Amino acid sequence: MPPPDDLRDELSRLPHFRDLAPELLARVASVTRRLTVTAGEDVFREGQRCDGFYFVDSGRVKIYRLAPDGRERIVHHVGPGQSFAEAALFHYGTFPASAAAVDGPATLLRIDGSRFLKVLEEERALATSMIGSLCGWLHALLDRIEVLTLISAGSRLATYLLRLPAHGEAGELGVELPVPKKDLASELSITPETLSRLFARWRERGLIRVEGRRIVLLDTRTLEAVAESNAAE
């Protein structure tokens, strides 16, 4: 395990710990280790006993569950600076879903569960910091629930594209899909076929240009209208 000092800077940039005093940050670092998982390798499986939680340092991790028919259902993706599995540690005791690296290797920071809970019990400042950070994540999840349940597939996709970091000049902005299209379809709760039809329809209408995982937004005004209208296209 790396010495705690090796991880203090990384931990200080994470939402859960960025406001901690140096001495407390050092205690968190002492129960943290770095690990690397290869693309497709599971970090943990659904139903396993939870013995810690994680932050993504580099790469991406998918949180997924298997449907009764064996098909994989993506719950969400986790990128650099984001955490996962806290609820499993604090509440469930077991992992309610599986996690695996996608699109290449992922470097993670693993917080040891039992040792972290002991620090949490002793340090009120750590509990306060965690609560504030998790409340922010809860608001993000509530926003995602609204997107998934209240709007159509086309509105959902337009909203997703417009929220991605864009590069270029007005009238032709490029965004990069952070995940493969099949995983994006699962994350948006639509079928891959529906996603393909939407992209094809929007290409024909001159709204976008598809260049692999790069999507050029040619008509952001119309896409904004689609995002707000609950329309399918």
pLDDT per position as a tens digit, 172-214: 789 999 888 988 888 888 888 889 999 999 999 999 999 988 9
Q: Provide the pairing of β-strand 98-112 with 42-44.
A: antiparallel
Per residue in 29-70, pLDDT tens? 999 999 999 999 999 999 999 999 999 999 999 999 988 888
Burial of 78 (0-12, 13-18, 19+ CB in 10 A): buried
In percent, how much of the chain has pLDDT > 90?
Answer: 47
Domain with CATH 1.10.10.10 in the chain: 152-229
pTM, rounded to two decimals? 0.61
Distance CA 63, CA 75 (A): 5
Q: What DSSP character marks residue 79?
A: -
Provide CATH 2.60.120.10 ranges for the chain. 5-148
- Domain 5-148, CATH class in plain words: mainly beta
- Amino acid identity, position 134: L
Closest CA to 194 of 168, 161, 157: 157
- CA dist 64 and 172 (Å) reads 34
The answer regarding whether domain 152-229 maps to CATH 1.10.287.3510 reads no
Contact 77, 179 (CB under 8 A): yes
User: With 60 as the cut, is the pLDDT of residue 163 above it?
Assistant: yes
Q: From start to end of the chain, where are the E strands?
A: 32-37, 42-44, 52-66, 72-78, 83-84, 98-112, 166-169, 172-176, 208-211, 214-217
